[in-house]
Structure 1
Amino acid sequence: MVNAGEITCEGWESINPEAIARKVVKNIGYVHNDIGFSFETFGYINWIHGQSGDIAQGVNEGQGLYKEQGAGDQGMMFGYASDETPELMPATIQYSHDLLMELARIRKAGEIAYLRPDSKSQVSIRYENGAPVAITNVVISHQTEAVPLTRIRKDLIAVAQKILESTGLLTGKTKYYINPTGRFVTGGPYGDSGLTGRKIIVDSYGGVGSHGGGAFSGKDPTKVDRSAAYYARYVAKNIVASGLAKRCELQVAYAIGVARPMSINVSTFGTGVVDDAILQRVVESSGLFDFRPAAIMASLGLSRPRGWCYQDTAAYGHFGRKMFPWEKTDKVRDLKNEVAAKA
């Protein structure tokens, strides 16, 4: 494992990053030496150092060219919400996460003893008039001990059907692809090298909506790649939760060192009850939302998480779980009132 990056904070010298890394790997479930990667035996390289002063002066309040805390980088971020699930997430990614969360629970509880940590899922859904009507395919690739594929298929199809039955979208034509190569014993970092930030679509909305290209994990909230994407989700979700649209995508762009965004754009894909321009004016100028980095961090409690931690976002996506403050829908009433006043 290579732990690389830049950290500047008080008390950093007292932290043991290698011990933290080994603890996390153990908690994931890499405890078997026979699969090539174990928390006890993996090699560790630490390449962590302090943050560039050139960057720091742009994000520290009172430094750089502007008085306010500026954005930690330039770029664009997107937030998305859809009314097709109770979580206001696209059904395909939500159901994929649901499957893997249940399989992880089963594995850690020892209910299916041959399961090992590495796993992926993919749920394909047929839509009609923008609404999900049927699950067509379910793909689960799960690392296991060397047991017969027939047994794995039987067990994992049963899990999938149990989790997805409540959606009402399973049909007699739904197909299941379980470890479709025929064998998945070698896995994890031993089977495939990994890198934080490579799986940005599964971290967000599963290919629905747009993505600005910047990863979330491994970044503190001064990096708008992370914090502004969370805030954009917060705004989009409140718009959909208020009934003002069935789908909503919000785009925001920043310049490094500058607090206020370069642009904000709202699109409801023709599903809004009012014109998108009205929603955009409300988002930009009503005072309900503040896209400056310091305001985002304060509004969502990103500097001092309560009831959640950043590690919780490292698996099963960054969106769609109630524990995260960017999932709250506390602006619904105010949004309705502002839109009514401007419509």
Structure 2
Amino acid sequence: MPRRHLFTSESVSEGHPDKVADRISDEILDAHLREGARARVAIETLVTTDRCVVAGEVRGPSVGVEEIARRAVRDIGYEAEGFSWRTLRFESHVHAQSAEIAQGVDREDGEEGAGDQGLMFGFACRETPELMPAPLQYAHRILERFAARRKAGDADLGPDGKSQLTLEYEDGRPVRVHTAVVSHQHSRRLSSAALRDLVDGVLREVLPGGWLDAQTRVLVNPTGSFVHGGPAADTGLTGRKIIVDTYGGAAPHGGGAFSGKDPSKVDRSAAYAARYLAKNVVAAGLADRCVIQLAYAIGVAEPLALYVDTQGTGTVPEDRIAAAIRTAVSLTPRAIRERLGLARPIYARTSAYGHFGRTPQADGGFSWERADLVEALQRAA
């Protein structure tokens, strides 16, 4: 890396139209998993002015899709002209899963084949305590702080919002904020100056000390105002924020989205497994940065390939790390599902503020953030 460089990542709030769609898709997935751990679900959602359309394929018990969607919209906070959980027009176009896909996933030998072909990436680095890229991690936390404030009763803040951080790096380490951009939906009552003061306060709460200085540029609602937001102002669709969901552009992406997909879809489960592996490699001291790639074929259980890239930071050779991973874990879809406990209703909470860099939860949520492979990898490597 050059001695000094800039890198930028963005986040979007739970009220961003694409995130509304992701939330609805994942709430429907969770509802199916509550009814049966072997449910197969692939749901897409579109939201726009006064309308919500759900489509996809499922295998499992029927659930109240419209009620689930309205409840999700209400919890996010939309009850206004143009998009309200009470009045939006709803359409469902959900049908049964293809028999050909089903026979490839649930094989006669008792193993589970991958639900699709594809390549998935995981990444970890030492830029934050969560072993995540700093620009994305702090961009998420900025919007989470706004959401907490809004849900605690700040009626001047709307659900829609975006943040973006450009950090300056020195010798590969983030040292200061070059530019912060925050665009947040607000009421007509809230002046630009008041919103600017609010943004300044949140930045100082969230960012490490010393990262904001006299040269830092802070842009707040650069268009001037942001009163009309959410699906009333812009169409949202499941799966359109895959870089926000993962590593903010700091690592490769295989192209598959996550929300609305059950763990037989390796787009989701193997991406979680790749993050789990990369995080444990870094936590084990085998590298300061680690990219893991996995590749699968539909109906085939074993991954086609495992690739490890420590970007020049490894303390042992990459082929030895790859061999240690193969010794420590199985990476078939079934093994991933069982190790990480993925056949549970834990997905709606992933639909905003990132799938990675979160705290593992008692009910199994964010299980892929555990660092419980450290000793096994150290022994094997």
- Name the TM-score, length of structure 1 as normaliser: 0.92
Q: Which residue of structure 1 lines up, in the alignment, with residue 377 of structure 2?
A: 335
Q: Which residue of 1 aligns with 2:341?
A: 301
Structure 1 residue identity aligned to 2:64? N
Q: Name the aligned partner's letter for residue 228 of structure 1.
A: A
Structure 1 CA distance for aligned equivalents of residues 69 and 209 of structure 2: 37
Q: What is the alpha-carbon distance in structure 2 between the residues aligned to residue 23 and residue 248 of structure 1?
A: 39
**Cα offsets for 1:201-248 (capped at 9, x unmatched):** 000000011100000111000000000000000000000001111000
**C-alpha RMSD over aligned residues:** 1.2
Report the CA distance shift for 1:322/1:176 in structure 2 as closer, same or farther (over 3 A).
Answer: same
Task: Give ranges in structure 2 of 5+ residues lacking alignment.
Answer: 1-51, 361-365
2:176 to 129, 134, 139: 134
Q: Tell me what 1:326 maps to.
A: 368
Partner Cα separation in structure 1 for residue 324 and residue 163 of structure 2: 38
Q: Which position in structure 2 is the counterpart of 1:215?
A: 257
Residue 79 of structure 2 corresponds to residue 18 of structure 1: no
List aligned pairs for 1:147-296, cutoff 5 A.
147-164=190-207, 166-284=208-326, 286=327, 288-296=328-336
Once the two structures are TM-superposed, the CA of residue 67 in structure 1 deviates from its matched residue by: 5.3
Aligned: 1:105 with 2:163: no
Q: Give the Cα–Cα distance (whole angstroms) in 1 for the partners of residues 196 and 211 of structure 2.
A: 20
Higher RCO structure, 1 or 2 (CA under 8 Å, sep 6+): 2
Taking a change above 3 Å as real, the CA distance of residues 168 and 245 of structure 1, as seen in their structure-2 partners, is farther
Deviates more, 1:149-158 or 1:45-54: 149-158
Structure with a larger share of its residues in strand: 2
Following the alignment from structure 2 to structure 1, what is the Cα–Cα distance between the partners of residues 313 and 210? 24
One-letter code of the match for 1:200?
I
Distance, in Å, in 1 between the alignment partners of 2:203 and 2:84 is 28
Match for 2:112: what amino acid? Q
Q: How does 1:38-187 map to 2 (within 5 A)?
A: 38-62=84-108, 68-110=111-153, 112-146=154-188, 147-164=190-207, 166-187=208-229
> 2:209, 2:161 → 1: CA distance?
22
CA distance in 1, matches of 2:312, 2:74: 48
Shift of 1:167: 4.8
Q: Following superposition, which runs of at least 4 residues in structure 1 exceed 6 angstroms of deviation?
A: none
Alignment-derived partner of residue 44 in structure 2: none
Residues 75-123 of structure 1 show CA distances to partners (whole Å, capped at 9, x for unaligned) of: 100000011100000000000111011100000111x321000011111
What is the distance in 2 between the residues matched to 1:177 and 1:47?
A: 41
What's the TM-score, normalizing by structure 2? 0.83
Counterpart check, 1:313 vs 2:353: no
Q: Secondary structure at the match of 2:237?
A: coil
The equivalent residue for 2:76 is: 28
Among 36, 56, 73, the residue aligned to 1:5: 56
Q: Alpha-carbon deviation of 1:169?
A: 2.1
Question: What letter matches 2:298 in structure 1?
Answer: I
**Matched-pair identity in %:** 52
In structure 2, distance between residues paired with 1:113 and 1:124: 29
Q: Where does structure 1 lack aligned partners over 5 or more consecutive residues?
A: none
Listed one character per residue, the Cα deviations across residues 37-74 of structure 1 (whole Å, up to 9, x for unaligned) are 11101111001111011111111131xxx652100000
Shift of 1:171: 2.0
